[in-house]
Amino acid sequence: MKSSVSSLLTSLLLCTFVAQAAPHDNMNATLWYQTSAEFKASAIQTYQTAALQLPHAIADKSWTALPNQTSGYQDLPVAIIVDIDETILDNSPTAAQGVLLNVGYDPKRWDQWVAMAAAKAVPGAVAFVNKAEAAGVKVLYISNRECEKRGDNAEPCPQKADTLRNLKAVGIKKVDASQIWLKSEQKNWSSEKESRRLLAAKDFRIVMSIGDDFGDFLPDVKKNITPEQRSALVDKYQDYWGAKWFVLANPTYGSWQTILKQPNSQYLQSVPAAQ
């Protein structure tokens, strides 16, 4: 009996040690996002830089942020495209919940969060959006929040109303449902945002794109691609960054992670072995 109790205590202690030695994979990323002055400063820096570029982008009729918007756009109304999650709205409480519960992404928990419309704003985002709208620039919110029914609710996309409510709650003064384009809202609106960008380009001169994922700027960069190929694309479009494209830091999730093959440790570039 004593032996069994001793074995049980040993097992419990071992489990406790393992749990302490191996924290949730997203712990440090979420802590950085929620607590660091560096994140806050970088977000404000990004939006202030975008605001400085805005007058030039509006005045120069040849200015477009879409590489494939090449003709017939010069006299179209001006618009910018922004992502929502971790670009305008801060959803890090859901990442923190996952850390504390020691679980991964759960679409049901995510939809419950969307329904709450309780996300705070990313630093600098609201001031920038309000400034753009005041200058006569249409802000288009192209998001991969997914339209889907909730239970017996006949509404095909309750997430759209939730999102609109949240955007207004953080202080965005001029926004309506027509500006919010969610995943699956239309048949060909997949997680690949290019079809929505092309649709926007028919009616607007798109002068800026702002997001936290590489897929917010370019197509075909979220799967079947290597980190090296993505890096080469960053170089190819280097004149866009900080002028037409503005990226927010997000270490908690994104296509930067999903394109990696297991084991992730193979991508680490360590100190060379001593000779």
Residue 273: predicted pLDDT: 85
Q: What is the CATH number of the domain that holds 60?
A: 3.40.50.1000
Selection from 230, 72, 62, 209 nearest residue 141 by Cα = 209
Look up the domain containing 177 and give its range: 24-267
Selection from 253, 50, 83 nearest residue 182 by Cα = 83
Report how far residue 72's alpha carbon sits from residue 203's, in angstroms, rounded to the nearest whole number.
Answer: 10
- Residue 220 is assigned to a structural domain of this protein: yes
Q: Is the pLDDT of residue 13 over 80?
A: no
The 10s digit of each residue's pLDDT in 90-142 is 999 999 999 999 999 999 999 999 999 999 999 999 999 999 999 999 999 99
CB-based burial label for 266 (10 Å; 0-12, 13-18, 19+): exposed
- Residue 8 is assigned to a structural domain of this protein: no
Written as one string, the DSSP assignment of 92-139 is HHHHHHHHHHT----HHHHHHHHHHT-PEEPTTHHHHHHHHHHTTPEE
- Residue 185 is assigned to a structural domain of this protein: yes
- Residue 114 is assigned to a structural domain of this protein: yes
- Residue 19 is assigned to a structural domain of this protein: no
- Residue 93 is assigned to a structural domain of this protein: yes
Tokens 């200015």: give the residue. Answer: 63
The helix/strand/coil state of 80 is: strand
The radius of gyration of the chain from alpha carbons, rounded to an integer in Å, stands at: 22
Polymer length in residues for the chain: 275
Q: Is the pLDDT of residue 19 over 70?
A: no
The 10s digit of each residue's pLDDT in 165-213 is 999 999 999 999 999 999 999 999 999 999 999 999 999 999 999 999 9
| Strand pairing report for 205-211 and 180-183 | unpaired
The 10s digit of each residue's pLDDT in 206-265 is 999 999 999 999 999 999 999 999 999 999 999 999 999 999 999 999 999 999 999 999
State the pTM of this model.
Answer: 0.90
Total count of domains within the chain? 1
The helix/strand/coil state of 186 is: coil
Are 211 and 83 in contact by the 8 Å Cβ rule? The answer is: yes
Using pLDDT thresholds of 50, 70 and 90, give the confidence band for residue 22.
low
Are 50 and 131 in contact by the 8 Å Cβ rule? The answer is: no
- Residue 13 is assigned to a structural domain of this protein: no
- Residue 211 is assigned to a structural domain of this protein: yes
**Would you tell me the crossing angle of helices 107-116 and 158-169 to the nearest 10 degrees?**
50
Using pLDDT thresholds of 50, 70 and 90, give the confidence band for residue 18.
very low
Name the region of 98 (left: φ>0; alpha: ψ -120 to 50; beta: rest). alpha
